[in-house]
Amino acid sequence: MTDVVAPQFHVGDRVTVRAAYPIGHVRTPYYVRGKHGIIERLCGAYPNPEELAYARPGLPKQPLYRVRFLQRELWANYAGQPADVVEVEIYQHWLEAQEQA
């Protein structure tokens, strides 16, 4: 058994952040949960902070991605420009492949 989960997404893939609300030390901000974005890059694999916070080893390591979200997707009344984006680091276990429309 390996201690790293294999990366499941590639640059450019459309993903949806899980709309889950577990208690504990979670590093997925509320404002992106349930939102659609695009994989910007794979950052490597790191121990799961939700486990590390409770002094557990956090293994297997989770692939970590930078996901790009359009501001318009995140905020209903975004006042800036349509092309503006936010990029957020999200662990793979928070991401799902986006259903094709």
Partner 1 sequence: MSHEHEQATEHLHVHRYPPRPDQDDTLTYYRAMEVAVRELLIEKGVFTAVDVRRQVEDMDGRNSGRGAQMVARAWLDPAYKQRMLADGSKAAEEIGLEVGPLKLVVVENTPSVHNVIVCTLCSCYPRMLLGLPPDWYKSRNYRSRVVREPRAVLAEFGTVIPDETQIRVHDSTADMRYLVTPMRPEGTENWSEAELARLITRDTMIGVALADRA
Q: Rule CB under 8 A: which of 37-96 touch partner 1?
A: 43-44, 46, 49, 64, 66, 71, 74-75, 78-81, 83-91
Bridge partners for 90 per DSSP? 65
| Smallest gap from residue 46 Cβ to partner 1 (A) | 5
List % helix, strand, coil for the chain (3-state, nearest 5). 15, 35, 50
10-39 mask for partner 1 (x: CB under 8 A)?
-----------------xxx-x--------
The number of residues making up the chain comes to 101
Between 29 and 56, name the residue whose CB sits nearer to partner 1: 29
Q: Distance between CA atoms of 29 and 91, rounded to whole angstroms?
A: 12
**CA 90 vs CA 27, 31, 53, 55, 76: distances in Å:** 8, 12, 17, 21, 22
| Smallest gap from residue 84 Cβ to partner 1 (A) | 4
Residues of this chain that bind partner 1 (CB under 8 A): 27-29, 31, 43-44, 46, 49, 64, 66, 71, 74-75, 78-81, 83-91
